């Protein structure tokens, strides 16, 4: 299933082979999300307002909605949880960063801090700048820090799918950019480091 807040995304979710569930995490209560999650095998939290969503909305989605989803996952006993964060989280933004980017990184960092306190098998994935280019299935995946870079949304999706099938990545923070290593091999290399 895929949670959506905009009914117009219904068709896209169905086309991807999932059942859309209308739920606006900015207004939802934990109990509502818990009911939705009961029986799920995992949670992938990819919601985000981004640095152009306005400060209130940014914190509501990028920080507080993550906390709500993580609490609901705990209550529904869904242990596997993958959080899509951003490169730069967990560090101070460079001095030349604008206020919106600094707030975005702060919200993502606080969300990561919250998730790490949870009794969940979490993995935090920090992709570089997302592109809409067709994925090649070739990435660079490593413990932080990686140099800033770009990665296609397709390749991020492939990495998420592979991480779901790799419970050994629990309690790991990984950064992701485009590269030259096939996804499965990149994950194998992370596990031996």
What is the maximal distance between C-alpha atoms in the chain? 45
What domains sit in the chain, N to C, each tagged with a CATH number? 1-127 (3.40.50.720), 128-193 (no CATH)
Q: Catalytic site residues? A: 104
Structure tokens at 149: 């870079």
What is the pLDDT of the chain when averaged over all its residues?
94
Over the stretch 171-184, which tens digit does the pLDDT of each residue have?
999 999 999 999 99
| pTM, rounded to two decimals | 0.94
Nearest by Cα to 62 from 91, 95, 102: 102
| Residue in the structure block whose two tokens are 């507080």 | 64
Over the stretch 138-152, which tens digit does the pLDDT of each residue have?
999 999 999 999 999
> Could you tell me which residue, 97 or 79, shows the higher pLDDT?
79
């Amino acid at each position: 299933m895929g949670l959506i807040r905009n009914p117009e995304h219904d068709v896209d979710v169905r086309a991807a082979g999932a059942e859309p569930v209308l739920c606006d995490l900015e207004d939802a209560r934990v109990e509502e999300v818990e009911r939705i999650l009961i029986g799920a095998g995992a949670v992938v939290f990819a919601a985000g307002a981004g640095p152009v969503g306005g400060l209130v909305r940014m914190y509501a989605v990028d920080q507080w909605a993550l906390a709500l989803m993580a609490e609901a996952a705990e209550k529904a006993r869904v242990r596997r949880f993958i959080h899509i964060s951003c490169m730069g989280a967990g560090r101070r933004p460079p001095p030349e960063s604008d206020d919106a980017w600094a707030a975005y990184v702060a919200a993502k960092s606080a969300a990561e801090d919250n998730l790490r306190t949870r009794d969940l098998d979490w993995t935090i994935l920090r992709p570089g700048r997302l592109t809409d280019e067709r994925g090649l299935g070739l990435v660079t995946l490593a413990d932080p820090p990686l140099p800033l870079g770009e990665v296609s949304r397709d390749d991020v999706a492939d990495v998420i799918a592979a991480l779901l099938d790799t419970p050994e990545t629990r309690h790991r923070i990984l950064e992701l950019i485009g590269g030259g290593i096939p996804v499965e091999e990149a994950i194998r290399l992370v596990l031996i480091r």
